[in-house]
Chain A
Amino acid sequence: MNGRFGSFGGCYAPETLIATLSELTAAWQQHRGARAFQQELQQLLATFAGRPTPLQHAKNLSRDLGCELWLKREDLLHTGAHKLNNALGQCLLAKTMGKRRVIAETGAGQHGVATAAACAALELECVVYMGTVDAERQRPNVLRMELLGAHVERVEAGQRTLKDAVNAALRDWAGDPLGTHYCLGSALGPHPFPSMVADFQSVIGREAREQMQGLPDVVVACVGGGSNAIGIFSAYLDERGVELVGVEAGGRGPGPGEHAARFAGGAPGMLHGTRTYLLQDAEGQILPTHSVSAGLDYPAVGPQHAELRELGRVTYTSAGDDEAVQAFETLAREEGIIPALESAHALAWVLREKEQLAGRRVLLNLSGRGDKDLETIAGIRRARVQR
């Protein structure tokens, strides 16, 4: 395994981190198949995280839309999103490697909360980097992290969102590459992260496939870095008859800085240790991004997604802020589930493509719950009333 996905992926990291990344790759290779590690991880996933998560037939929406809509309920996982699958895997690995300190970046706060919880359970010190813009719009998650014993380091640089939190975490790691593990939250970054994170998230697809009678016609997931998407897609990549759809954040529109749709407005380049599709200008400078959902608000997509798109195996599209908010409200009203704004992007695509989906079996990864987004939604509803 060299960390390449076609011409994407790789390991574009500073020299100070190379030995640590190699050590991490070796440890992951050694433990991923080892019985002791797997038993402990399965135990944590079952008793701490609450796996398996249910697969639910969304009856009301299915009736309204004229399709068969199934929801993989990762929103019911402990800490509220799929992020815990990866955080537990990595933190257990870090502990096995003898690391005492874990750092993480977070956008929406879900990965930060998951890492903080995993560290509390595994008795590891935890520091989470979060842009101040995100810390403001996801305030409940900041409090959660602090209650779980993590230190939240607010990042003032750049656009003060997820990208800047990743920069800060990478810099921290270079300062203590031997004692600290960087628990990267998505299928991004230098090798081995994209493969390792996908591995820890593949439990989503494996379970869904076991739980569902027969194959779906379509699997859809939102794509920020792309860890929930690769987690559910992984079980169906070899099933050519299953259509796979990734939904990026269309934000306010197609202009530069208005969205985070890397496949619509981006080009290949290197950022944060990997070669993938990036939102960048003609000079190779990284462009600002926007999305109503902090978790999708990032200029790069996971390198495996870049390859899957190039191979034509997955179709990538986007949903805008307004569509996502509508889908958020629709799911709450129709099914009694308040989804994360990230996951609402996947549902927005289903609502928009109602006609082509009629009569088909659609599996949607409901990657997280929306408690963290209530303030954002309240603000949008207030603005709507005033308009």
Chain B
Amino acid sequence: MSSRPRHPGPDSPVRAAVPLAAGTLLGGAPGAPEPLLELVDVHKHYRSVRALDGVSLSIAPGETLGMVGESGCGKSTVARLVVALERPTSGRLCFRGEPYPRSTRALRAIRRRVGVVFQDPYDSLDPRFTVGQIVDEPLRAHRLPRGEERVRELLADAGMRDAELDSYPAQYSGGQRQRIGIARALALEPELLVLDEPTSALDVSVQAQILNLLLELQRRRRIAYLFISHDLEVVRRMSDRVAVIYAGRIVELGPAASITASPRHPYTRALIDAIPAPTPAHRQVGMDRPAEDEGAAIRAPRAIDTAGGARASGMAGAGRAARPACPYAPRCPRRTEICAAAEPQLRPADGRLVACHHPLAGAGEGPASQAPRPLALS
């Protein structure tokens, strides 16, 4: 911490107070008194790399929280902590109000209630196990009622009614393998399912089937989802609320529709602008406009590549003194002196939380508010 004297440590009361306030503001769906999952000021450091740098969020029962950001931003670290594959460096994770237990043995109870579906169905299914064994394994590990009928039922729930139990994953296409992975995740009847890029390895014409299956399972079983993706458009369609994460911090968190329709954080705006146009009539950068055009700073190759982006290489430098208080400042077209001097806290604005000294104007505000307005720090 000595390298960043301006930054209050994780134990500082100032820092702890903000995430708690944030939690009560947008802690979940209205009328849900107790969140299913809660993260409070969670840090995860790997040596000098701050993979997560103070993340607070919560998920209500039956809700989908979408999480978007670029590779290396910490999305998958959140997933690994939530499914208890790793422990945070500091901060707290709670399931139904109970902190995650310390002992590995006791963590089994968490793993029973929090399932996971991985990105790559080619990597995440053991090629030497039969389909039956793959789906049965969690039942066996947790000493739950087993049997062929149960396994068939789970496969049927995942849309694999005709699967042979003694076939192997290699006999199936990517989409079918992902269904097997979903059947395995359903075996323990989890209350929360972590979906880490569940369709990004699949063919385009297959993605919609898997997304529809996930929507249907949620409707029928009221499972809450932590839906992680780099594809903001898919996240919008799948989620109730969205958390935008950059360099290990949440920069914007709020209702999916309003965040995607009128983002307040410049990084969220940049993510939206980078989505390829839905039709050729909406091409975003004209042929004749040079890519280095300052007006399109975020799309300019220089702005992105030389700044190191949100990736781990940028993060590695992050732990050192040169890191600005706002991690997005080097790429941000709206940055001013304050962005390098003071860390922006997540603050309520326009029905959401935004961590930015110069947030973009909301839909209802006049053009005057579009200019950067440095905020006085109290």
Partners in one complex: no
Q: B interface vs A, CB < 8 Å?
A: none
